[in-house]
Amino acid sequence: MASISGRPGENEYAPFYAGYVQRVPDGDIFEILARQIDSLPALLAKLTVEQADFRPGPAEWSIKEVVGHMNDAERVFAYRALRISRGDQTPLPGFDQDEYVRTANFGDRTLPDLLEEFVLLRRANLLAFNRLTHEAIQRQGTASGFGVSVRALIYILAGHVEHHMESLRQDYLPKL
């Protein structure tokens, strides 16, 4: 099993990811990632079909779109971590999250389906990341024009979910 000692340094990720890294609570990052498998579905489990389509403003994403975006980001960040952990030094492009959400048709899916996708993606990522060597976790590459380490990408995955869960708790669920 892999272990990650300490948080990634600021030189391991782009400044715009600092908020995600800082959101990750202290503790074993793999345990934190594993807990999110239960905490995200638990947060949204009791929503009705109508509530899952709620958006706090006309230009805001719906709850289903937020979860769909989280799934897209889980894939993108994990793919970056895979490539870099394998020693691939090819610069990896960024992605336009708004365009991804706009073209994904998340509104046509059910919330339980989107949550199941999150659970399966995260479980697969935990299996992959838990088997990385110390050297692989330390490797650095380039994504979105900035240097990034595998360790930072693992933290970004956890922090991204924490960010959106906080947004759901503060900006969405109280308004239902």
Please indicate, yes or no, if residue 5 is contained in any of the structural domains: no
The predicted-structure confidence for 84-138, as pLDDT tens digits, reads as follows 999 999 999 999 999 999 999 999 999 999 999 999 999 999 999 999 999 999 9
Q: What is the tally of structural domains in the chain?
A: 1
* Predicted local confidence at residue 3, as pLDDT: 81
Average pLDDT, the chain: 97
**CATH code of the domain containing 85:** 1.20.120.450
Q: Name the residue range of residue 62's domain.
A: 10-175
Percent of the chain exceeding pLDDT 90 equals 97
Please indicate, yes or no, if residue 104 is contained in any of the structural domains: yes
The predicted-structure confidence for 98-110, as pLDDT tens digits, reads as follows 999 999 999 999 9
> Please, is 44 exposed, middle or buried when counting C-beta atoms within 10 Å of its C-beta (0-12, 13-18, 19+)?
buried
Q: Which long-range contacts (CB under 8 A, 24 or more apart) does 35-39 make?
A: 36/122, 36/158, 36/161, 36/162, 36/165, 37/118, 37/119, 37/122, 37/123, 39/165
